A and B are shown apart, each in its own frame.
Chain A
Amino acid sequence: MSLTFLLIDDDEVERLKFARVLQKNGYTHKLIEAKNGEEALQHLENKEQLPDLILLDLNMPKMNGLEFLKILKSDAALKYIPAVILSTSNNHSDLKGCYEIGITGYIVKPLKYQDYEYKIKCLVEYWSINDLVQL
């Protein structure tokens, strides 16, 4: 099953990292990239082509991850899209805030690229075997 990921991260290298993991491991999933919350919302306007999973960074300029998450979860159509946090922060209050609003996962970005690759592979494999809500 081919999935569509929406990756929201202001850091270009982070977006490159995710794309590289997909490419190097031969995944055929589709990747949409957004630099921040606003850009992501534009992508989500077309309700016909909604992503299967949202990967969200927390610290971003303009609209940050939490703000985006609130909008997402209060939208009748968008709230079913599972959102997974990809952040460098393992701060207790960040974690709590995210789970409160509603996330399906929280992945702390490890320092080493190899560790990162391993985690993303797990994530992709896991969501590949999930049943998702189709509206």
Chain B
Amino acid sequence: MGNDEIHILKRALQREKSARKQAEKILEQKSGELYDITQKLKKANKKLKDQVGKKESELQGVFDNLVDAYVLMDISGNVLEMNDTAKQLFGYDIAQEKLNVVGLIYKDDYRYAMESFQELITKGSFSDYQARVYTKKIGVRTVHINASLIRDKNKKPIGAQGIVTDITEKIEQKQIFEEQKKQLSIIVENSSLGIVLAQFGKILQTNKAFQDLLGYTKEELQQKEVKDISVKDEYVSVADDLEKVYTGQIDNLSINKRYKKRDGTSFWAKTNISAVRDHNGNIKYQVALIEDITEHLESEKQRDLLVKKLERSNNDLNDYAHIVSHDLKSPLRSMNALITWLKEDYEDTLDDDAHKSLDMLLKKVDKMDHLINGILKYSSIDKQEHPNKNIALNDILTDIIDVIHIPNHISISIPQNLPIIKGDKFRLQQLFQNLISNAIKYNNKEKGTVKVSCKDQEDFWEFAISDNGQGIPKKYHDKIFQIFQTLDDKKESTGVGLSIVKKIIDLYNGYIWIESQEGIGTTFYFTLKK
């Protein structure tokens, strides 16, 4: 090999050496850099780890403190995580026992749950799922769930998480509220009163009764204002008062006004307007209750008319009593005078028959006078309304015994302890006097007895006036109380006495009845309230 060759080889070696050296130097430099980077990475990694840990614990805090229940599950429905709320809601602790959500689905909601799950798989989430679930401790609850799918880095679904809210109570409250609303609207719709909700004259709502009253539909009325369905003059006349309701000076206004119907006619209604305030106390609405008083007014009119008529006929009756007292009595007095004069002036020329006839005529006149007095007494019983006073019946009966004529063959027994009764002296006297004098008048026994007695019957007194007279046949027991009914055409029977008795007892809300045996005697019973 030549020097040149050796020289070339040496130079090449030299170059190779220096190149290696350079390469080694670069390598060394790079290693140092690598080391630095590694160190930096290590540091960064640690920092990152710390931060992740921090975030994780932060998340755990959020997770635990969620008001709503949070459930994390794998794709088969096995629960992996639940927060405290979820544990409380479902009543399970997955640290103690395994839990699969499928077992929690309420049987009737199963299909819906599966559909929702399908949606979760295909779309990645679902929201506003609402269904019932079984819980361990608090029975079936209605829950609201928002859920989303969790995928791995290959987009493969590996689990799902859901926020669960227990809305059972909310639903119950809503149901109660709805129920109450329904009940209220039943009341409003079925009310026989018309009801209108208005806002300062503008009609907002009406019920069926009001729509029927006016003949408009609900929608038509909502287009109207109160003045559209009112009679103009009347609306103007109450405008001031309405303004007071609108401004809150008064809370309530009651008026009688007319409403115009769809067919153009109108009707009278009592209208009660109340102000409705919001929770700040500001006036928001006016509620009006409308009552059709057409019939009421009509019957009031009828009643007034009737009262007037009654007044008139009552006055007529008074006049009638007056006419009876004078116009009928006067001629009787004249007749009595003229007959008496005939008898006096022609005493010698008249024969016995004529005298007899004139005497009979006088008797008839006398009877006529009795009748007229009877009618007068009967009609005046309830005329004068005297205030009820305490009347001692023993005093009344003593007076009666003094006044009426008692023949020697009649003995009357009256107990000493008759009660004191609230009533009118004149009426009570009439009552007892008529019964006692009847008992005397119609007594046909040689030794006649009349006995007054009284029994305390708690709420009322029961009186009895019994005699040993001729008795009254059963068929007349009702008839004798009718006016002008008399069983005796001799003497001065007018048929008024017992009808007066009956009228007085009716006035005092009492009863009267008879027990009688023909030929043996009669007892009149009657009651007077205490």
Contact = CB atoms under 8 A, between A and B. Distances in A.
A14 B334 contact: yes
A43 to B, nearest CB: 23
Nearest to A13: B334
B332 interface: yes
A88 B325 contact: yes
Interface in A96-135: 109-114, 116
B334 A89 contact: no
Pick from B330, B338, B369 the residue with the most CB of A within 10 Å: B330
Contact of A17 (B325, B326, B332, B337): B337
B181 to A, nearest CB: 67
Interface in B179-210: none
A85 to B, nearest CB: 12
A88 B365 CA distance: 15
Interface in B330-380: 330, 332-334, 336-338, 340-341, 365-366, 369
Nearest to B365: A111
A92 interface: yes
A116 B337 contact: yes
Contacts of A112: 336, 340
A20 interface: yes
A20 to B, nearest CB: 7
B340 A58 contact: no
A87 interface: yes
A113 B337 contact: yes
Contact of A89 (B322, B337, B369, B384): B322
A26 B384 CA distance: 44
Interface residues of B, number: 19
A111 B322 contact: no
Given A13-B338, A20-B341, A92-B384, A109 B333 contact: yes
Contacts of B337: 13, 16-17, 113, 116
A44 to B, nearest CB: 24
Contacts of A11: 330, 334
B338 A89 contact: no
Interface string A1-25: 0000000000101101100100000
Contacts of A49: none
A74 interface: no
B329 interface: yes
Nearest to B327: A59
A13 B332 CA distance: 11
A111 B330 contact: no
A116 B341 CA distance: 13
B325 A113 contact: no
B333 A116 contact: yes
Interface of A: 11, 13-14, 16-17, 20, 58-59, 87-92, 109-114, 116
Given A109-B330, A111-B369, A114-B340, 20 more contacts: A11-B334, A13-B334, A13-B337, A14-B333, A14-B334, A58-B326, A59-B322, A88-B326, A88-B329, A88-B330, A89-B322, A91-B325, A111-B329, A111-B332, A111-B336, A113-B333, A113-B336, A113-B340, A113-B341, A116-B337
Interface of B: 321-322, 325-327, 329-330, 332-334, 336-338, 340-341, 365-366, 369, 384
Question: 4 shortest A-B CB distances, which residue pairs?
Answer: A13-B334, A113-B340, A88-B329, A113-B337
